[in-house]
Structure 1
């Protein structure tokens, strides 16, 4: 029996980048759960999903690394804001 669309075999670097993206996604969602306002939580979840989906088609490793850095900056900013909200 033949598979319809076999997944392409990833190079080690591509595999590592994919894992990094998945970990970043999980970290962002864990941080979003800490946001006190439920409406804002939903808004942030939508933003994250939309952003990740919009950029899921990239295959250039340099572009992917750039988006990972952007995501990490957004995560740090989110963590800082959650920390400030909790401190109030």
Structure 2
């Protein structure tokens, strides 16, 4: 059973994943969309086994920064 902290972290990770995937759907080029989708899925799967809360927080911060950069890049392209 997850502790409250673990539950909250899990929710944040899932929310980040959903936000990224939702943003990817706005990319007009289908091949880029597919490539990014596969990359994001693989990145999240590769980290699925990590249970240390501090490591998850660090990866969450890095993921949010990467997502922010992705959004900025997409805004420049539009």
Counterpart mapping for 1:53-64 below 5 A: 53-64=45-56
- Structure-2-length-normalised TM-score: 0.97
Tell me what 2:76 maps to.
84
Flag structure 2 segments of 5+ consecutive residues without an equivalent: none
Q: Aligned-pair distance for 1:35?
A: 1.2
Q: How many residues align?
A: 78
Q: Hey, which of these two has a bigger chunk of helix by percent?
A: 2
Alignment partner of 1:10 is 2:2: yes
Name structure 1 gaps, 5 residues minimum: 1-8
RMSD: 0.6
Runs of 4+ in 1 over 2 A off after TM superposition: none
